[in-house]
């Protein structure tokens, strides 16, 4: 029988594929190797359950290198309120990269157990117009995790962010939370610390998968042009077409509607400053390309 399923993990040339409520282990058809086709975690596939064979890989919506995973729908950009202090430029770059790949971003503000409410709102204010919802949480106390899982909706989600913000702690806390709260896990989560790490999809609930290995490379930003960046800033959308110049990058141009909105307090200034930093980095890269 041919079934459609999803690759949850791959070890030693074998793939754990979920079809409905069952998880089976499959080997790819020999022709895959001949054609140099490598199945990825997250791939939607057709399997032959009798022959225990992976027959076909369905087209991918996207694929990442770090972590190696296909068909990602959401990216949770994780930061900590402190320890380490948030690197908001990196956060903004991850948001951009997600938007470029058509992956829905969300912001997770971890270690809220260590901070006062005003430290949280100082960050919330900066992203109010970004289109990415922000979830204050604590992987340590579990505060906010149910809300975060609820906000995830459906699809496959990966975590990204600077080191030390609590990504691994969050993966564990979310997986544990899902076990306790929802309980419909088709996978065994227990896993010895000594085992080699492979990327794996954890089913938090039906139609919601978490990539257990944080990552996400910024490679995508190497392909973005200075003209494109502004379109990935959601807060600028209402001002599109209102600047004096058609190709206004909202930088030094006179008669810029975005700058006017910032001066009027309608858009966040800090976020715009980081946009300009990113824009400058891209311009430098574009100039160096011809040297
Ligand atoms: P990663 O590098 O992003 O994967 O971060 P880790 O999950 O390894 O966490 C880094 C450090 O932060 C560890 O010492 C964690 O115990 C700590 N940590 C993680 N989440 C929280 C939290 O919600 N509150 C506090 N106070 N510490 C946390
Ligand atoms: Zn402008």
Nearest CA to ligand 1 atom 12: 166
Q: Kindly give the confidence (pLDDT) of every residue in the chain, 291 residues in length, as a single tens digit, with 9 standing for 90 and above.
A: 999 999 999 999 999 999 998 999 999 998 888 888 899 999 999 999 999 999 999 999 999 888 899 999 999 999 999 999 999 999 999 999 999 889 999 999 999 999 888 999 999 999 999 999 999 999 999 999 999 999 999 999 999 999 999 999 999 999 886 554 433 333 434 444 434 468 999 999 889 999 998 887 666 678 889 999 999 999 999 999 999 999 999 999 999 999 999 999 999 999 999 999 999 999 998 888 877
For a mutational test of ligand 1's pocket, the pick from 113, 115, 139, 159, i.e. the residue with the most ligand atoms closer than 8 A to its C-beta, is 139
* C-alpha–C-alpha distance, residues 275 and 248, integer Å: 14
Residue-level pLDDT at 111? 97
For residue 199, the CA-to-ligand 1 centroid distance in Å is 20
Q: Please enumerate in sequence order all residues whose Cβ is within 8 A of that of 64, keeping only pairs 6 or more positions apart, or say none.
A: 70, 72, 158, 215, 216, 217
User: What count of other Cβ atoms lies within 10 Å of the Cβ of residue 236?
Assistant: 21
Q: With contact defined as beta carbons under 8 Å apart, do 45 and 54 qualify?
A: yes
The whole-number pLDDT of residue 33 equals: 83
CB of 163 shorter than 6 A to ligand 1: yes
- Closest C-alpha among 110, 118, 124 to residue 82: 110
User: Whose CA is closest to 111, among 83, 141, 79, 138?
Assistant: 138
Cis-peptide, bond into residue 143, ω within 30° of zero: no
Rounded CA gap, 28 and 14, in Å?
Answer: 7
Q: What is the CA radius of gyration of the chain?
A: 21
- Centre of ligand 1 to C-alpha 8, Å, is 26
Nearest CA to 219 out of 84, 67, 55 is that of 67
Distance in Å, CA 273 to ligand 2 centroid: 14
Task: Find residue 156's DSSP bridge partners.
Answer: 209
> Taking a C-beta distance cutoff of 8 angstroms, is the pair 204, 182 a contact?
yes
Of 112, 163, 164, the one to substitute when testing ligand 1's pocket (max ligand atoms within 8 A of C-beta) is 164
**What is the 257 CA–ligand 2 centroid distance (Å)?**
5
Alpha-carbon distance of 271 to 277, in angstroms, equals 10
Ligand 1 pocket member 276 (CB < 6 A)? no
- Between the CA of 70 and the centroid of ligand 1 the distance, in Å, is 27
Q: Check pocket membership of 111 for ligand 1, CB cut-off 6 A.
A: yes
| Residue 121: burial class (beta carbons within 10 Å; 0-12, 13-18, 19+) | exposed
Q: Which atom of ligand 1 is nearest to the CA of 83?
A: 12
The whole-number pLDDT of residue 183 equals: 34
What pLDDT is attached to residue 182? Answer: 38
Distance 155 CA to ligand 2 centre (A): 35
Nearest atom (ligand 1) to Cα of 159? 3
């Amino acid at each position: 029988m041919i079934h459609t399923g999803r690759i949850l993990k791959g070890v030693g040339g074998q793939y754990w594929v979920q079809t409905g409520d069952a998880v089976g282990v499959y080997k790819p058809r020999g022709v895959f190797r001949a054609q140099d086709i490598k199945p990825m975690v997250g791939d939607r596939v057709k399997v032959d359950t009798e022959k225990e064979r992976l027959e076909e890989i369905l087209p991918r919506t996207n694929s990442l290198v770090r972590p190696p995973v296909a068909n990602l729908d959401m990216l949770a950009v994780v930061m900590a309120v402190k320890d380490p202090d948030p690197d908001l430029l990196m956060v903004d770059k991850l948001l951009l990269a997600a938007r470029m790949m058509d992956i829905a971003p969300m912001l997770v503000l971890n270690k809220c157990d260590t901070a006062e409410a005003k430290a949280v709102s100082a960050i919330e204010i900066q992203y109010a117009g970004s289109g990415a919802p922000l979830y204050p949480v604590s992987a340590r106390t579990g505060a906010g995790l149910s809300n975060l899982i609820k906000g995830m909706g459906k699809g496959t989600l990966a975590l990204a962010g600077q080191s030390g913000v609590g990504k691994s702690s969050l993966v564990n806390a979310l997986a544990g939370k899902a076990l306790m709260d929802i309980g419909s896990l088709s996978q065994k989560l227990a896993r010895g610390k000594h085992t080699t790490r492979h990327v794996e999809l954890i089913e938090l609930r039906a139609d919601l998968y978490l990539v257990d290995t944080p990552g996400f490379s910024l490679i995508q930003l190497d392909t973005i042009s200075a003209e494109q960046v502004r379109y990935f800033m959601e807060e600028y959308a209402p001002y599109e077409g209102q600047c004096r110049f058609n190709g206004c990058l909202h930088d030094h141009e006179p008669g810029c509607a975005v700058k006017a909105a910032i001066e009027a307090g309608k858009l966040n200034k800090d976020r715009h400053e980081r946009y300009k930093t990113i824009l400058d980095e891209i311009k430098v890269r574009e100039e160096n390309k011809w040297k």
